[in-house]
Chain A
Amino acid sequence: MEATVAKTGTEGKKWGGGSRPLNASYGKLMMWFFIVSDALTFSGFIASYGFSRFKFIDAWPIADQVFTHVPFLHGVPAPMYYVAFMTLVLIFSSVTMVLAVDAGHKMKQSKVAWYMFFTIIGGAIFVGSQAWEWATFIKGDFGAIETKGGKILQFLNKDGERVAIADFTKHIPSERTLHEKKNGIWYAEEPVTPTTFTYEEVKTSFLADENLLIRTQYLDEHGHPTVLSREESVAKLVNDGKLVVEGANLIRNEYGHPLFANFFFFITGFHGFHVFSGVIINIIIFFNVILGTYERRKSYEMVEKVGLYWHFVDLVWVFVFTFFYLV
């Protein structure tokens, strides 16, 4: 090697090469740089969420009216508890990770393996919880009506409690006719995905039940969604209503503005993807620990590097939690 490297006259100086000016190895430094760039990606997502929210500040869904579900407690509104649980799981898996790093510094192979194992379990619980949260969000619970302007109308009773569409709507017997080639353009399809009830059915049942009111997505000065009087509700539904929305997807969202659903899917999805890949990387390192790779290498620095990534995933969740569920 000596023969091929030109002398620069800086040998032995701090930046002359061969030394570590930042006192961190190449791998750790690169992990930090990756984390900075990934943090910028996430902040891009979260800042654009803020942008859209500020753009529709008077009509943005309130998170604790959206995420009110806890597994096995069906029908019990419990805002925040489940997300809080997910946050704690992730923070705890961060703790086991940093304990693994600490055990790695002391070259204790079996301890590193156990702590890595707990970290993997924590990550898996978190990803599973997120999948459950997504499924609940996509399925929806009360259903809503979308207006011609793309706004959402939700139903309340006179006591101000939410009422599900399925609870007051009766089916009107009708037959769906098969569209045959001979009747017209052969490639025509149904315009929207069929829902359990049609707008006409909801409208008829709503007009028949004096107890029902409509809540719009516009917020009043106290930050609560506006509730219309019975006359206003009827007028709103009859004049502006267009179709039934059940659950949330990238185009329609029964909880309010579709952008809320889009950002929910993209931000928590991108974060969930990070957790998922973190779990995969942790599993690889876990097996390396068990196989004794780092014992032979006499350094557990790889554990430290994946640890940095894992903590970063936790760090991002702290922000997602605040900006999606709290603020």
Chain B
Amino acid sequence: MAHEHKLEIFRGLVKFKSNISKIWGVFAFLCAVTAVEVVLGIIKPESLTGSRILAMKTLNWIFIILTLVKAYYITWDFMHMRDELKSLRRAVVWTAVFLICYLILILLLEGGYIFDVYKDNYIKFNF
């Protein structure tokens, strides 16, 4: 069975010579991203925790975006999603992404609502 691997990542910016060197390249990239996350998580710069974009702390946006970047490269290069047909890719990714976004939206809205009920209404948790 012949196995064709697409060897360029970052939209063709980096092209590896073999699949093995691509694996190590992606590993280095994932380590770098994790290192950035950990350093930011330890320092927690005031400028990023104090400011908010769309009601969420800038730092949390950075964490979540970096996580999605890592998830992309794990799925695309380690799980070889990059080499699969577009139809398989969409069947797996779109289904999961749609359902997960929907679930998160509902639960977080509801959680925020219940917080407001506890805070502003007659039920008190101040003892």
Interface presence of B8 (CB below 8 A): no
Chain A interface main SS type: helix
A189 to B111, CA, bound (A): 37
Once the chains bind, are B85 and A23 in contact (CB under 8 Å)? yes
| Given A50-B108, A94-B74, CB of A40 within 8 Å of CB of B99 | yes
A23 to B81, CA, bound (A): 12
Smallest CB-CB separation from B67: which chain A residue?
A322
Given contacts A24-B84, A105-B1, 17 further A-B contacts (CB under 8 A): A22-B88, A32-B91, A35-B92, A47-B104, A50-B104, A50-B111, A80-B38, A91-B31, A94-B78, A95-B23, A95-B27, A151-B125, A314-B74, A318-B67, A318-B70, A322-B64, A326-B37
Scoring B24, B38, B84 by chain A CB atoms within 10 A of each residue's CB, the highest score goes to B38
Chain A residues closer than 8 Å to B115, beta-carbon distance: 54-58
Once the chains bind, are B108 and A322 in contact (CB under 8 Å)? no
Interface presence of B14 (CB below 8 A): no
| Given A98-B78, A318-B74, A326-B41, CB of A40 within 8 Å of CB of B108 | no
A36 to B110, CA, bound (A): 25
Binary contact track B15-59/A, C-beta < 8 Å → 1, others 0: 000011001100100110010011001100000010000000000
Size of the chain B interface, CB-CB below 8 angstroms:
52
Binary contact track A80-105/B, C-beta < 8 Å → 1, others 0: 11001001100110110111011001
| Given A102-B23, A326-B63, CB of A240 within 8 Å of CB of B127 | yes
Once the chains bind, are A92 and B27 in contact (CB under 8 Å)? yes
Once the chains bind, are A91 and B87 in contact (CB under 8 Å)? no
A51 to B42, CA, bound (A): 25
Once the chains bind, are B42 and A64 in contact (CB under 8 Å)? yes
Chain B residues closer than 8 Å to A80, beta-carbon distance: 38, 41-42
Interface presence of B100 (CB below 8 A): yes
**16 chain-A/chain-B pairs, Cβ below 8 angstroms:** A24-B85, A32-B88, A36-B95, A40-B100, A50-B104, A50-B108, A51-B110, A55-B111, A151-B125, A311-B75, A312-B79, A314-B78, A318-B70, A322-B66, A326-B63, A327-B64
Chain A residues closer than 8 Å to B126, beta-carbon distance: 149
Scoring B66, B95, B111, B112 by chain A CB atoms within 10 A of each residue's CB, the highest score goes to B111
Once the chains bind, are B42 and A105 in contact (CB under 8 Å)? no
Choose from B23, B38, B74, B107 the contact partner of A315 (Cβ within 8 Å): B74
Smallest CB-CB separation from A23: which chain B residue?
B85
Interface presence of A157 (CB below 8 A): no
Taking the closest CB of chain B, its distance from the CB of A192, in whole angstroms, is 19
A55 to B117, CA, bound (A): 9
Q: Please name the 3 residue pairs, one residue from A and one from B, whose CB atoms are nearest each other, closest first.
A: A54-B111, A51-B111, A51-B107
B92-109, CB < 8 A from A: 92, 95-96, 99-100, 103-104, 107-108
Taking the closest CB of chain A, its distance from the CB of B5, in whole angstroms, is 9
Once the chains bind, are A315 and B92 in contact (CB under 8 Å)? no
Chain B residues closer than 8 Å to A32, beta-carbon distance: 88, 91-92
A299 to B119, CA, bound (A): 61
Interface presence of A52 (CB below 8 A): yes
Taking the closest CB of chain B, its distance from the CB of A318, in whole angstroms, is 5
Interface presence of A21 (CB below 8 A): yes
Once the chains bind, are B114 and A55 in contact (CB under 8 Å)? yes
A230 to B20, CA, bound (A): 62
A56 to B116, CA, bound (A): 10
